[in-house]
Amino acid sequence: MGHHRFAAVARVQRGQSMTEFLVALLVLLPLFLAVTYAGRYADLLQTSTQASRYAAMQRAIEPSTARLSDAKLQDQTRVRFFTNTDLLHSGRLQSDDSAAIYSADEALPSNWRSLSGAPLLAKLDDVKLSFHGESMYGDTPLGKYGKATTGKGYTQPKSARLEVTLLNRMDQTSDAPPPLKLAAATATVGDRWNTAGIADTTKTVERIVPSGKLEPLNMLIDPFVYLFEGGGHDFQFGCTKVDVVPSHRIKGSQSLDSCR
């Protein structure tokens, strides 16, 4: 009699434990899903940060919107950072490709999808790029210092802000939560020199680092260098020599043996 009563109580307890486990699992399910999506959104945020850095640097290098419009730079940023990396690695993506030629399903990496397969980034048009000017140079002490050290005027720097509108899967309490927006911004404080060739670049470098004034010391140093290096050494104390680069990019030094 007591044995049957004990067995019945044990069955009730097992049933209660299973019920409590299922209830706890149901309560914690949104948390488990949120952890899964946290990594996906973190990857998108990191990509947005990298994209904003790229856009800010591109605008610093090419400040003219006539040669590189904001719309064109936005399109390049979308296709370079928010398409499937397989497109990059297989050589299918060309430098002037537009994001418009890729469909959302083709362009989206698998990590940027929900557990049901829905794209977190519905379309590449949801990636918005904007630029904002920061008044840091001009007639400010920083601007005067830059002009004094380089002999060139500095333009107003730009900050690139990238905003991405995504499908919201972090909110598990609503069937139709509002979109989730991620944003990243990068400001460029440095400026290009816009030098007019190798001679101008060399003069600008020597104005910042006055090593050119030390070139006469080569007459004293050369005999000692010859003792260790022998003839044909390329050591020139205080020499500023621009690297030779492809001719279609910038004209390099005409002679590897000359300082200018």
Average the pLDDT over 65-87 and give the result.
Answer: 84
What is the three-class DSSP state of 112? Answer: helix
Average the pLDDT over 52-62 and give the result.
Answer: 89
Give the separation between CA 20 and CA 188, rounded to whole angstroms: 56
Place of tokens 């972090």: 170
Residue-wise pLDDT for 180-203, tens only, equals: 999 999 987 666 666 677 777 777
pLDDT score recorded for residue 130: 94
pLDDT score recorded for residue 164: 95
Cα distances (angstroms) measured from residue 195 to each of 64, 92, 153, 189, 246: 16, 35, 11, 18, 17
Lowest-pLDDT range of 62-76, 81-95, 167-181, 195-209: 81-95
pLDDT at 18 exceeding the cut of 60:
yes
Alpha helices by DSSP H, 97-217: 104-107, 141-150, 198-208
pLDDT at 46 exceeding the cut of 80:
yes
Contact 183, 53 (CB under 8 A): no
Place of tokens 């019945």: 8
Q: How many residues does the chain have?
A: 260
Higher-confidence position of 163 and 150: 163
Output b/e per residue, 8-19; b: 16+ Cβ within 10 A: eeeeeeeeeeee
Residues 6+ apart with CB under 8 A from 163: 127, 128, 130, 181, 182, 183
Quote the percentage of the chain above a pLDDT of 70: 57
Closest to 161 (Cα-Cα) out of 124, 187, 130, 126:
130
pTM listed for this prediction:
0.61
Angle CA 71–75–77, to nearest 5: 115
Give the separation between CA 60 and CA 92, rounded to whole angstroms: 28
| 114 alpha carbon, distance to own chain's centre | 24
pLDDT score recorded for residue 224: 76
Angle CA 155–157–160, to nearest 5: 145
pLDDT score recorded for residue 212: 67
Handedness of CA 160, 161, 165, 168 (dihedral sign): positive
Closest to 143 (Cα-Cα) out of 158, 159, 154:
154
Give the separation between CA 128 and CA 181, rounded to whole angstroms: 11
Average the pLDDT over 160-173 and give the result.
Answer: 86
Q: Which token pair is 96?
A: 């002037």
Lowest-pLDDT range of 30-44, 52-66, 93-107, 211-225: 93-107
